[in-house]
């Protein structure tokens, strides 16, 4: 089935598309251009391409992918350091699957595994704690990437390791926070954005209230939305409606899971184990207080302190993932897209990750 067929099989989706088009035509008539919305979430980016929504609305709403893919925003130097970790004798590296094929300056974790390094793909950080428990003669390091959606589970892993009194378990923290990167993007003025589509899953932890700064300080209309086609279309509709009425509000359009205060249990876990830290982002250098590190009390679980890993400055390539995650360019504007860089031979993380913008364009939007 062609992905666009979903609109002929789902009457609600079809009517939602018609409503968005009708509203965007009003915007075009008033402003003389398309409304520009940035989806902050990598899962939204993939869903827009996979369902055909982005293609169907291309002449009515400009949808820009933002820095929402956790693998893609991890800077090259951090990836090189993670790969170098695998070279330390008697060490087991545990990671989410997306990281395996991300190219480092020399090679990937996948290549390191084929050369005999002990690298294991897990579906949860909690699995890595069990691996550490079962291998007391080995050092076990979990590669901690991700946004507020993932970080509470990292905290649970540390809690388990603490309860088990493990001395051979650490996490290499390169996590990211949503608010600082949104502030950095909006302050930079590099990309013209009328409104934001905010990630449903991250918002479950953060809560609607955490986005008040978008309304109060930046006057940017924003809508928290889910991941199903009708939810995505409703999010677009409400965003354009806010623009037409010049209302800089934050709408929670995912209210059955996103609460005003967020998940307080998860947030308390973050506050217990971690503190703010300046974090390097691909293509954006270091953003102040945009990541988390262990509090001093839990420093024994910090892989960066336990292992003496130093890497050189990464070699430069023609990969433009840094600009793509900022929404500055589309994947097709990169000279490597679908030429030197493909899913079977990726040059940058945006082509590897299941939430990557280049992967979305290659799989669903590429012209044959």
Domain extents for the chain?
A: 25-367
Q: Is 233 exposed, middle or buried (0-12, 13-18, 19+ CB in 10 A)?
A: buried
pLDDT tens digit at each of 368 positions of the chain: 445 454 445 788 889 999 999 999 999 999 999 999 999 999 999 999 999 999 999 999 999 999 999 999 999 999 999 999 999 999 999 999 999 999 999 899 999 999 999 999 999 999 999 999 999 999 999 999 999 999 999 999 999 999 999 999 999 999 999 999 999 999 998 889 999 999 999 999 999 999 999 999 999 999 999 999 999 999 999 999 999 999 999 999 999 999 999 999 999 999 999 999 999 999 998 999 999 999 999 999 999 999 989 999 888 889 999 999 999 999 999 999 999 999 999 999 999 999 999 999 999 988 76
Distance CA 225, CA 182 (A): 17
Q: Which residues of 36-63 are buried (b: 16+ CB within 10 A; e: fewer)?
A: bbbbbbbbbbbbbbbbbbbebbeebbbb
How far apart are alpha carbons 328 and 227 in whole angstroms? Answer: 24
CA distance 275 to 173: 11
**pTM, entire model:** 0.92
The DSSP secondary-structure symbol of 207 reads -
Domain 25-367 superfamily per CATH: HypD, alpha/beta domain 2 (3.40.50.11740)
Query: In which residue are the tokens 């988390």 written?
Result: 292
């Amino acid at each position: 089935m062609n992905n666009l067929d979903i609109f002929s099989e789902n009457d609600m989706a079809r009517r939602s598309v018609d409503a968005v088009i009708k509203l965007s035509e009003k915007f075009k008539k008033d402003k003389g251009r398309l409304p520009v919305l940035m989806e902050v979430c990598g899962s939204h980016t993939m869903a827009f391409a996979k369902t055909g929504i982005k293609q169907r609305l291309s002449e009515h709403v400009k949808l820009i992918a933002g820095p929402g893919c956790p693998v893609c925003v991890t800077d090259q130097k951090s990836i090189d350091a993670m790969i170098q970790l695998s070279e330390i004798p008697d060490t087991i590296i545990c990671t989410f699957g997306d990281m395996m094929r991300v190219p480092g300056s020399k090679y990937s974790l996948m290549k390191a595994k084929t050369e005999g390094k002990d690298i294991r793909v897990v579906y949860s950080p909690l699995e890595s704690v069990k691996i550490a428990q079962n291998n007391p003669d080995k050092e076990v390091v979990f590669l901690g990437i991700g946004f507020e959606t993932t970080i509470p589970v990292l905290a649970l892993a540390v809690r388990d390791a603490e309860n088990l009194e493990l001395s051979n378990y650490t996490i290499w923290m390169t996590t990211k926070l949503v608010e600082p990167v949104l502030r950095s993007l909006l302050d930079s003025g590099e990309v013209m954005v009328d409104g934001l589509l905010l990630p449903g899953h991250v918002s479950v932890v953060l809560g609607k209230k955490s986005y008040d700064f978008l309304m109060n300080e930046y006057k940017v209309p924003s809508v928290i939305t889910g991941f199903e086609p009708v939810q995505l279309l409703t999010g677009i509709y409400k965003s354009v409606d806010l623009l037409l009425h010049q209302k800089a509000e934050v709408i929670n359009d995912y209210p059955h899971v996103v609460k005003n205060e967020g998940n307080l249990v998860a947030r308390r876990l973050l506050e217990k184990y971690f503190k703010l830290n300046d974090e390097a982002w691909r293509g954006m250098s270091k953003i102040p207080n945009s990541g988390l590190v262990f509090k001093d009390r839990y420093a024994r679980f910090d892989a960066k302190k336990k292992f003496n890993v130093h890497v050189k400055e990464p070699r430069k390539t023609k990969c433009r993932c840094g600009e793509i995650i900022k929404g500055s360019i589309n994947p097709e504007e990169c000279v490597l897209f679908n030429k030197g860089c493909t899913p079977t031979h990726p040059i940058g993380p945006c082509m590897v990750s299941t939430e990557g913008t280049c992967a979305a364009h290659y799989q669903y939007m590429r012209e044959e």
